Chains A and B, each alone.
Chain A
């Protein structure tokens, strides 16, 4: 569990970085509600293949998105070592299946570079910007855009 109340407000932002299929991504810590281990999900029929299904989060039904599949990196093969990052997007809770959580970054916005003009539209729509830190390249994910298209239209 991450204590997000310590996140600084103002110039400096805190981000949680994690690994998805050898690449490093991050999301704003304020959106993260908790981090938990992988548990088998109940699959959802008639759903996009990046939706792994739903799990029971203390009584609430939590949809789990395979971030690797969503980003076009191929489906993950979840093991007990995989991690679910529970995030709140708008008024909804969602679990992101990732390989592992790496660390907490404290950055200022000037460290965020615009997403390079890469060919893949999907990456450009999901990635807000890229952070260069100690030789690592960490892409910041725009959570709003991760939601399935149908819902994004409805919202």
Chain B
């Protein structure tokens, strides 16, 4: 029962992939590429889901998949035309199918009414569009597919339980068609061993070309008394299953030319290797050697019946050296036969080249590698302390070690890297649902789905993207009528684009809607008391107001937005990942939301600073700029407060040392360095440090694993000298400061930002 459950889990994993393939295929069809392969892929996806579901007795899923599949079969055979309406229907059907899969998995319910009406719609299209079930349709030129497609029509009224077998049948021909290869008979002459060659090594070489079955004949073995220990008496017969040419096989024996008698005969193809070998016919092409051919045939059957290392009962075959012409003639045929089966190898089935690994093992590996990186840095630092010259062997060796560790780190990080496709593939459905909910026509264009990001980041991409897409449809795009009036196509286009830029992943959501209504946005912000009424803001600043907590542009709370999650929450969750979100908008032409995230959460770009003899790391993502303040730029405010004048605005000065409790009194800011930082609510602050050591990529280490969260500290890292350094939580530091000495007005820093 447990085993069945395990298989079921695998089935649902496959379902995820199949559903993604299905949707991908349908979207491709929507974009006009309804070629045979796409339709086949779509059909196959539904068919495979149905097959698996049948095996597990998931009846509702099977019933729906069956109706779906029948219509797709019609499309595949050309009986039903792939009209745009049909594709839209199929897309909706794929959503219902996905619901069925989730329900079968015990996650969520199926809307029975929806499912039934969808099934009816599919059936209606089928009967309206074409003659039913084209069981005897023209065979597809794709053999691989044909086997699968011929099954369902006959299966319609049968128990679906054995449908999965079609998959097996599907793959079987690839095996059966495998080329047989060559029968190699090696009879070493005595000199072979004297020249320091070894038949075992030759056989091993053969094994590299394919799978081998080896037997030997010891008939020539004399009595022990007569035996010359350095001579060779054994004849080896190697049945080599491979698709390599005879020339390749011959190449193995290049260096033993003349030291052994060699016979290479093709095994016939087209049947299972063992059976083929047993029934092998003497090669008709090789007229002159018919005698030896018989012997070889006998030998083959002997080799087959007494495999690996069993002595061959028959007489040793007379050594035959083929004439080059004959050899070529023999070689030609099997080579031709060997070619076609290559194709299935090149296009492996889904997941065949993928290893499923427990993520914990990878995490452990990543931990170990970061330890290695730290250790390497420690050694480098120690060596530098001893004043060893750069040109010394030790220093050169260390450089090489550093490069190697970098490469190892990159490779290990790459293990966890996954294409963003896994997140993107859920979005078309979301867009369809949201679009139909708000009554808009939307086309989603996705680009850069192959862009790879660390798994830890991928897992957290879904929410912000979902929200940005919802926003774009609900707020960004106009209603169809409105679009028509301004001369835009009725169908709005939303582009979801992923790309790498400067060591970060950038996700852009672009709509071609009305753009941000700036006067309205500013008015709302004023009405809600978020900004002062008389404030003059740049366009960019107004756009960014929508990230303020408590802001919503929707006139009324709709089903889509207004779920209590505003852009401020999105922004906070993005910033928690060390990312940034920005917006750019052009009235009447649309808006672009840009999300920029680190590629991995395991390392962080930081500024290493010294504060009160402590070394701290400030995340680079939070830093706007760093500067050395001049005395005239520092102004006192109130009894203890101070602000820094930055280009006509005033930013509160926060001494890191005293805020973190490392020292009692803040030093004179003009003697230190100031880091201008931006916190999650958009407010700015000037953090005072004693000194800046430099910019560095640091490995993030959890403080909570062994201790607990510490206010003002985001995490820890280990520096080159092996000591622990804390990574500053910029927002928390600012908040800590506020608590101790409240800023004059809570909203002021926000507005004083620029």
Binding site for B on A (CB under 8 A): 40-47, 51, 53-56, 58-63, 92-94, 148, 150-151, 154
Contacts and interface: CB of A to CB of B under 8 A. Distances in A.
A46 B710 contact: yes
A40 B723 contact: yes
B724 A42 contact: yes
16 contacts: A42-B615, A44-B707, A44-B726, A45-B726, A54-B703, A54-B716, A55-B724, A59-B367, A59-B370, A60-B705, A60-B706, A61-B702, A61-B706, A61-B707, A62-B706, A92-B705
B629 to A, nearest CB: 24
B614 A148 contact: no
A68 B141 CA distance: 82
B724 A45 contact: no
Contacts of B368: 59
A43 B706 contact: no
A60 B371 CA distance: 9
A92 B706 contact: yes
Given A54-B724, A59-B718, A46 B703 contact: no
Interface of B: 367-368, 370-371, 374, 614-615, 660-662, 701-703, 705-708, 710-713, 716, 718, 722-726
A92 B705 CA distance: 7
A150 B704 CA distance: 13
Given A44-B726, A45-B661, A59 B371 contact: yes
Q: Which 3 A-B pairs have the closest CB atoms?
A: A59-B371, A45-B660, A63-B707
Nearest to A63: B707
A43 B707 contact: no
B708 A150 contact: yes
A47 B723 contact: no
Given A45-B661, A61-B703, A94-B706, A56 B711 contact: no
Contacts of A43: 614, 662
A44 B713 contact: yes
A41 B368 CA distance: 22
B712 A45 contact: yes
B117 to A, nearest CB: 51
A154 B368 CA distance: 30
Nearest to A62: B706
Contacts of A60: 701, 705-706
A150 B614 CA distance: 26
A61 to B, nearest CB: 5
Given A45-B712, A53-B724, 19 more contacts: A42-B614, A42-B724, A43-B614, A43-B662, A44-B710, A45-B660, A45-B662, A46-B710, A47-B710, A51-B707, A56-B723, A59-B367, A61-B702, A61-B707, A61-B718, A62-B706, A63-B706, A94-B707, A148-B708
Contact of B708 (A59, A93, A151): A151
Contacts of A47: 710
Given A45-B660, A54-B716, A61 B708 contact: no
Contacts of A151: 707-708
Given A54-B716, A61-B702, A45 B711 contact: yes
Contacts of A62: 706
Residue of B661, B707, B711, B723 contacting most chain A CB atoms (<10 Å) = B707
Contacts of A94: 706-707
A51 to B, nearest CB: 8
A86 B285 CA distance: 79
Contacts of B371: 58-59
Contacts of A93: 706
Contacts of A53: 724
A63 B660 CA distance: 18
A93 B244 CA distance: 58
B123 to A, nearest CB: 57
B718 A46 contact: no
Residue of A60, A62, A94, A148 contacting most chain B CB atoms (<10 Å) = A60
Residue of B374, B718, B722, B724 contacting most chain A CB atoms (<10 Å) = B724
